[in-house]
Structure 1
């Protein structure tokens, strides 16, 4: 039985603008599709972030403050991968092999000088990968989100979730789980970018929809 609209969880889905000279970024196209078409199990809100070490984490934090999501699913492009890959770990490290869209190219720099070395996803990554794979779409868990802007926003979002959890530490035991679920999923390149022809935007959308359903089911 479906829940009333006012009781559906809110899912913030983010992607990134094109970068490194590309004309498009499938993660941004997926955000637009999901936002326009919706999802029967949740209320989707979307935001496309700049490929910017300086600005993307702050804009993500602002989107979380504005929309008050229950779940945050961040999407990014991993051009050389051949599967949809939910990420386990965000590292406290910015080490860019190419410049971001502001021209910044940090090397061996901490994202937060006093932050933990790593933060772990709050999404059920194995369940997500299994569910997508069972639908016939290649998917596998990835250990790390890398050290580019994707990793920076994942690290920042997990930090926000940690802060909120700490603020709720004295909530009476037994109340509904109000933990902010946060994680990152990389998608492979679409054929327009020279990627595997299996990964049309339709197939990637189907995979991310399955991921969202899986997260919601695990949260219940």
Structure 2
């Protein structure tokens, strides 16, 4: 196992959002904390909870990035109504909130990073991750929009840091949206859900692939709309 300069195993940072919009639970955080301390391919998972608040979420991510740079950073958010684990392809430099965040803030048509590029792509091997999750019987797909709420906000901030910080030159990062848990869907008739154990297993597969696959596979994952 490769060690960092302080003797610790390299880390995989899982950053999952706290509950929001009056939900008592967020599958993003439940997945992250379920995997906290899990060892995979010479790394150890570290979970951190992100506040669902513009700006403050970035501050929390920055605090978590202090120290030895992670091998991977996966930010996780809930996407109610989705039926699959969704690996996001691109982050946009725009905040355009449909609802206020957990602090009551609702930015509209505001840049995440003033003067930053219009967009960043994930540096994860997202198609290989989807391929391996599907091969394991775990529903997943590439998604081309992370929305314009706090999920996209943190995704863009992460990718901007990876692109501009020499310390993160060897860190890969991206964002993954996850479906509701069954207990959330129980009060939302007709809305899709996925068991926590299934989602956690999907992340085990996704993390292992992200750590072992350098060049992403080239296969279709596009959509008509």
Shorter chain as denominator, the TM-score bin is 0.7 to 0.9
What TM-score does the superposition give when structure 2 sets the normalisation length? 0.86
Alpha-carbon separation, structure 2, partners of 1:39 and 1:80: 31
CA deviations 1:143-167 (Å, max 9, x no partner) are: 12111101111111111111124x7
Count of residues in correspondence between the two structures: 206
**Retained in 2: the 8 A contact 1:92–1:118?**
yes
The match for 2:209 is 214
CA deviations 1:63-101 (Å, max 9, x no partner) are: 111452121011110011110011000000001111100
Of residues 184, 199, 202 in structure 2, which corresponds to 1:193? 184
CA deviations 1:118-160 (Å, max 9, x no partner) are: 0110101101111111111110000121111011111111111
Structure 1 residue 9 displacement after superposition: 3.5
Q: More deviation in 65-74 or 119-128?
A: 65-74
Consecutive unaligned residues in structure 2, runs of 5 or more: 186-190, 216-225
The two structures, once aligned, show a CA RMSD in angstroms of: 1.9
Of residues 199, 204, 207 in structure 1, which corresponds to 2:199? 204
Moved over 4 A (4+): 4-8
SS of 1:186's equivalent in the other structure is strand
**Retained in 1: the 8 A contact 2:2–2:10?**
no
The match for 1:172 is none
Q: 1:67 to 1:59 in 2, by over 3 A?
A: farther
Q: More deviation in 89-98 or 8-17?
A: 8-17
Alpha-carbon separation, structure 2, partners of 1:205 and 1:14: 14
Q: 1:67 to 1:8 in 2, by over 3 A?
A: closer
Alpha-carbon separation, structure 2, partners of 1:67 and 1:81: 35
The match for 1:134 is 135
The match for 2:116 is 115
